[in-house]
Amino acid sequence: MKQYQEYILEHLKELLAIDSPSGFTGRAADYLMRLYQDMGYEPVLTRKGGVIVDLGGEECDNAFLMASHIDTLGAVIAEIKENGRLRISPVGGYGASAIETENCRVYTRGGKVYEGTCQLVNASLHVNTSYKETLRDFQNIEIVLDEDVHAKEDVKALGIENGDFICFDTATRVTESGYIKSRFLDDKLSAAVLIGYAKYLKDTGKTPKRKIYQYFTVFEEIGHGASASIPEGVTDVLSVDMGCVGDGIACTEKEVSICAKDSGGPYNYDFTSELVQTAKEAGIAYAVDVYPSYGSDVEAALKSGFDVRHGLIGPGVYASHGYERGHVDGMMNAFGLLVAYLDK
C-alpha cells in the first residue's frame, strides 16, 4: 500500500490549502466534486453542502458508509471596532490562545480577500504593562488588518462587514522523519485517507461485497455534520476522524486509533470488535482508546434517528484544535485498516 502514501499526502496538502471553516466550505466541496468526477465517480452535493460518493458494491441493503469532515475551526467578524480592528466570534471549539499571533485571511461577501494577524489587544510587550496578566479570551484578542485602516469607516470602505469569515493559516509541514504538522489535520488528514481509498478501489477494479459510500460532511465542528443525507440501505457508519493522542491515551501519531467510547458513550461493541480483530489479523499498528472530550459525525447520525451500527477510527493526532501533529505511519495504518476491513 506504500504507493498510496504520496497520493494521500498530495491531496492532504491540497485540502489544507483550501480555507473551509464550518459554514464556509464551498470551495473544499467543489474540489472534492471535481476530484471524484476525474476519478470516474459520480459525487453528489447535498443541500447542506456535503459530498456523498457511491463507490460501488453488491449488497445495497447492507451498505457501509465512511464519513470524514472537511469543515474546520475558524471565526467570523463580530464587530468592527472604532479603531479599525476586528473583534471575532469563534466557529467551533477552541481557545483564544490557540490563534494568538496567527496569520489569517478575511473573506468578504463581495469576493475580496484581505490578510491580517490575530493579536492580543495592545500586543506590544514593551508598551503593555499588563501583557503577561491579560486573559487570553475572545474579548482580548483582535484581528489587525494588513491594510491602512485606522477607523471603522476605513474598514467598511474595503467591503468588510460583520459576519465575514476569518480563516487561519495552516502552517503545514511534512518532516523528513514523516511527521505531519498543520492546523486542521482534524479532519482533513482522514478526508485525504478516504480519497486514497477511493483511488485504491479504482486502481484495483475491485467490486466490494457491500455497497460503499463516502460522506464528506461540512458541519462536524459545530455538531450536526452527519445528521442528514445518509443513503438508504446503510447499516454501518464509520466515522474516520482524528484519533486522540495525549496523557492517559494509548495511541501515538504512528498508529490508527480505534475508539471504544467518547463523550457520547460507547461505540457499537460488535462493530468495534470487528475493527480490532481486523487490525490484529492484518498486522496493523493500532490502539484502542476512550476519548474523554470528543464527539463524532456518527453520533450526530444516531441522534437524528438513523438505525445503524456506529464506529470511530482515525490516525493519531496530537494537540487537537491547536497546531496539530500526525505521522505518515498513522495515516497509512488508518488507510490499511479501511482496506483490510472492507476487503473481507
- Residue 45 CB coordination number (10 Å): 14
CA dist., res. 28 & res. 218, Å (int): 9
**pLDDT score for 100:** 96
Average pLDDT over residues 118-146: 96
Q: CB–CB of 311/338 below 8 Å?
A: no
pLDDT band for position 164 (cuts 50, 70, 90): very high
Task: Say whether pLDDT at 185 is over 90.
Answer: yes
Rounded to two decimals, what is the model's pTM? 0.97
- Model confidence pLDDT, tens digit, residues 258-307: 999 999 999 999 999 999 999 999 999 999 999 999 999 999 999 999 99
- Model confidence pLDDT, tens digit, residues 188-234: 999 999 999 999 999 999 999 999 999 999 999 999 999 999 999 99
Beta strands 59-69 and 210-217: pairing type? parallel
How much of the chain exceeds pLDDT 90, in percent?
Answer: 99
> For residue 279, how far is the Cα from the chain centroid?
24
How much of the chain exceeds pLDDT 70, in percent?
Answer: 100
The domains of the chain, with CATH numbers, are: 2-72+184-342 (3.40.630.10), 74-168 (2.40.30.40)
Query: Which of 10, 59, 161, 220 is the catalytic position?
Result: 220
Beta strands 51-56 and 44-45: pairing type? antiparallel
What is residue 323's DSSP assignment? S
pLDDT band for position 2 (cuts 50, 70, 90): confident
Is 339 in a helix, a strand, or coil? helix
Q: CB–CB of 141/99 below 8 Å?
A: yes
Would residue 220 show up in a list of annotated catalytic residues for this protein? yes
Average pLDDT over residues 92-108: 97
Residue length of the chain: 344
Which grid coordinates are listed for 3? 504507493
CA dist., res. 258 & res. 272, Å (int): 7
Is 212 in a helix, a strand, or coil? strand
**pLDDT score for 344:** 85
- Model confidence pLDDT, tens digit, residues 24-60: 999 999 999 999 999 999 999 999 999 999 999 999 9
Task: Say whether pLDDT at 1 is over 80.
Answer: no
Q: CB–CB of 20/72 below 8 Å?
A: yes
Residues 6+ apart with CB under 8 A from 51: 29, 32, 33, 36, 43, 44, 45, 70, 215, 216
